[in-house]
Structure 1
Amino acid sequence: MRRQPPRLCSALPTAWHSVAASASERFSSHRISSVMKRFFRTPKGILTLILTALALIASPHEGFQRVMPELLSAIAAAGVLDLVILRVRHGGWEFPSGAVLTAMIVAMVLTPYGAWWVPAVTSAVAVASKYVLRYRAANIFNPAALVLAYHAFSSGESWWGALPELPLWGVAVLSALGIFMADRVNKLPAVVAFLFAYYALFTLMAFIGDPQPVAEIFRSPDLQAALYFAFFML
């Protein structure tokens, strides 16, 4: 009678593959987690978290059904475009963190009452502009600020991401997050200088001309818009 091989020996390859697959999965998960932790410690990662927090705080007041389609479409359009451009330029896949931030800023400034595709197209144009309008390795203009300057004259901007619909505590939250971000990237002196010059100029205009229109600059939503611009777009 032919002798049967021990079952233990036949089970070893299967067990080994199972252990190897489990170890590989754990290593992959650990690597992804490590990469994400490193990213969210960078200035871009921190700004992504801050903008996400502001969007979540503002969304209930503006309506999730209005802001989320525009926000997600903008991120998708800008992210995919930049992903392809980075692939062509660098020969490898890279996370388009800059495009995501640009899209979030654009979507959080434009009115949520327009067509959902407007922030998407605007964000894509902003991403494309940073590869066209360059001097050596640096952008000449902030991509988001550049395209929003055009929209300021052609369509509505509500700056809903700056929390203009919230009471005074919204300004406190915006200021606290903005100061933290500006300090983290060593731009706090520039932010203070900009805000001082901005409000000093309008104060001077109030003394020279009619103070009534100028007074709007110190109220919502213009106040929040100025803070948002200074902290996150300057």
Structure 2
Amino acid sequence: MGLRDAANAEMKRSWRRMSALLRRPKSVCAGALFALAVLAVAGGQPPRGLLQVAMAVAAAALVDLALRRLRGLRLGLPDGALVTGAIVGLILSADSPLWLAPAVAAISIASKHGIRVRHRHIFNPAAVGLLLAAASGASESWWGDLAGLSLAYVAVLVAFMYAVLWRARKFATFFAYVASFLAVCFAAGAMHSALGADAFRNPILNATLFAAGFMASDPPTSPSRLPMQVAYGAGAGGLAAALYLWLSGLAYPFVALLAANATYAAVRLRLRVLQSARREET
């Protein structure tokens, strides 16, 4: 009876740990991204993409654990690194050299540990690595957003994003980003801009949804309060649209997101300075 009770207690503890893990936004996001990778390959994307994602995730996790150890931090599940690696692997072209995705993922995680303000990283790590990759001429296809598949797959993409946004409570950021991006592109399309019209079709629409749902909603680098979520999402989406219409290319989401990250970090720092000044006055 004692052994049975001990086994039941251990099972309950394991279930509680698993439940706690599944409640973490990063864990939910990582699971959604891995599911997208499998679905994309099943839908006809190159199977090599799964190997690319796996290598990027492994590199991101190892670098994250190594840098945590170097900084004297407690080691744990590197779920943030899993998300970063998966995003990198899903955006870079599946026919890229196999060393590229792990290298970009490693750089992304290094930026997370190296670029910090008040012990908190301010930039979305995947955006940093992917922007550097784009600047160096790396090929991107965003195959993980199901862009190469039929329009029906957009519903699946939205379903996965719903789970991530619900857990992170970032619906306002998502809708503000998408609405702002499409509004700017609609205005451009009304003025006979081909790029503006293309924003409502696959693959630009899929890339916009992916960027808004899995990158702009990153909890550590985006606001949690509703008014700030709206301002942050609208600013990032509007800037992304402007850059897309002006420069075309594939770097526009990363530039816009990093600019929004920097603005949010500056606002947060300013608010802390004002709060500290008020406390000193009282």
For the aligned pair, the TM-score class normalised by the smaller chain equals 0.7 to 0.9
Question: 1:39 corresponds to which letter in structure 2?
Answer: L
**Structure 2 contact 145–210 (Cα < 8 Å) conserved:** yes
- Pairing 1:137–2:109 present: no
Give 4+ residue runs of structure 1 displaced > 6 Å after superposition: 22-30
SS of aligned partner of 1:218: coil
Flag the 1:32–1:124 CA change in 2: closer, same or farther, 3 A: farther
Count of matched residue positions in the alignment of Structure 1 and Structure 2: 213
**Structure 2 contact 91–141 (Cα < 8 Å) conserved:** yes
- Pairing 1:122–2:104 present: yes
Computed over aligned residues only, the root mean square deviation of the Cα atoms, in angstroms, reads 2.3
> What residue number does 1:97 align with?
79
Give the alignment of 1:49-198 within 5 angstroms.
49-60=31-42, 61-64=44-47, 66-153=48-135, 154-198=137-181
Q: Distance in 1 between matches of 2:82 and 2:190?
A: 42
SS of aligned partner of 1:157: coil
Question: 2:169 corresponds to which letter in structure 1?
Answer: N
Flag the 1:231–1:33 CA change in 2: closer, same or farther, 3 A: same
Superposition deviation, residue 179 in structure 1: 2.5
Q: Distance in 1 between matches of 2:124 and 2:22?
A: 22
Q: Distance in 1 between matches of 2:114 and 2:27?
A: 25
Q: Distance in 2 between matches of 1:44 and 1:149?
A: 22
**Structure 1 contact 44–98 (Cα < 8 Å) conserved:** yes
- Pairing 1:228–2:223 present: no
Flag the 1:27–1:59 CA change in 2: closer, same or farther, 3 A: farther
Flag the 1:216–1:120 CA change in 2: closer, same or farther, 3 A: same
Between the two proteins, what is the percent identity of the paired residues? 32
- Pairing 1:44–2:44 present: no
Query: What whole-Å deviation, never above 9, does each CA across 1:173-192 have from its counterpart, x for those lacking one?
Result: 11122133213212111111
Deviates more, 1:84-93 or 1:150-159: 84-93
Deviates more, 1:86-95 or 1:214-223: 86-95
SS of aligned partner of 1:168: coil
Flag the 1:214–1:96 CA change in 2: closer, same or farther, 3 A: same
TM-score, normalised relative to structure 1: 0.82
SS of aligned partner of 1:131: helix
The structure with the larger Rg is 1
Flag the 1:79–1:181 CA change in 2: closer, same or farther, 3 A: same
Question: 2:28 corresponds to which letter in structure 1?
Answer: I
TM-score, normalised relative to structure 2: 0.69
Flag the 1:160–1:87 CA change in 2: closer, same or farther, 3 A: same
Deviates more, 1:100-109 or 1:158-167: 158-167
> What residue number does 2:256 align with?
none
Q: Distance in 1 between matches of 2:20 and 2:51?
A: 29
SS of aligned partner of 1:49: helix
